[in-house]
Amino acid sequence: MRTRHRRFAAAAALTAAASLALVGCGTDTSTDAPATNPTTTAGSSPAAQAQNLSPEETEAADPTAGPADSAPKSETPDAAAGRAELVVSEIRMGDYQGEDRVVFELDGRGVPSYSVDYVDAPAQQGSGFPVEVQGDSFLQVMIGGQILPTETGMEEVPVGTVTGDEATGVAGVAFAGQFEGQAQAVIGLEGTDRAFSAFLLQNPTRLVVDIER
């Protein structure tokens, strides 16, 4: 009887040890995996209403008489003009003699460079995140000579989308901020690529983009 009791005790001890080993080797079901932070895409917030064109802007013609076609447009100021320090302070849009006109007003000093061109899939410079704006075709606007508002105290237009009732062919304009001295905006248009022109106005400094309907 004593021998049998010892065998049962030994068997129980082995069973307990095996159970502990299985628990120690079990799969970890912890859910403490690091969370993925969501990304913010430029233009993803609800659209705001853009300011209307100023009285001068409803009449001012392109002083350069540049061509109105769908080819890229760009301009670089003379080096003698010095370094520009600008921020995009306001975006306006409206009707100009049957065309859609978008105006980017700039605060600060100097003359900006700019380039305007059609792109298939607008992406935010630097991050590569998509720039979300309504439309069938997309006109990307890059404005040089930018400086961070925190360095000057000037106020920059917030990242986001604006729309305007009088610019009937423009679905929206998304401002994507600035990166390495370049401000970026995307004009979303109804329909296919259309002819456009781009030029600067002074006092105050403005980049004007006229788009045929």
Q: How confident is the model at residue 42 (pLDDT cuts 50, 70, 90)?
A: low
Is the pLDDT at 189 greater than 80? The verdict is yes
Is the pLDDT at 4 greater than 60? The verdict is no
pLDDT of 23: 39
Q: Output b/e per residue, 160-184; b: 16+ Cβ within 10 A.
A: bbbbbeebebbbbbbbbbbeebbbb
User: At residue 113, what are phi and psi to the nearest 5 degrees?
Assistant: -90, 165
Q: How confident is the model at residue 49 (pLDDT cuts 50, 70, 90)?
A: confident
pLDDT of 41: 55
How far is the C-alpha of 177 from the C-alpha of 63, rounded, in Å? Answer: 28
Residue 199 has a CB neighbour count (10 Å cut-off) of: 19
Is the pLDDT at 40 greater than 50? The verdict is no
Is the pLDDT at 110 greater than 60? The verdict is yes
pLDDT of 13: 42
In tens, the pLDDT along 127-173 reads 999 999 999 999 999 999 999 988 888 999 999 999 988 888 999 99
β strands within 128-193, DSSP E: 137-143, 160-163, 170-179, 182-189
Domain 48-63+73-211 has CATH 3.60.20.10: no
In this prediction the pTM is 0.78
Is the pLDDT at 33 greater than 80? The verdict is no
User: At residue 75, what are phi and psi to the nearest 5 degrees?
Assistant: -155, 140
Q: How confident is the model at residue 3 (pLDDT cuts 50, 70, 90)?
A: very low
Is the pLDDT at 14 greater than 60? The verdict is no
Residue type, 41: T
pLDDT of 151: 84
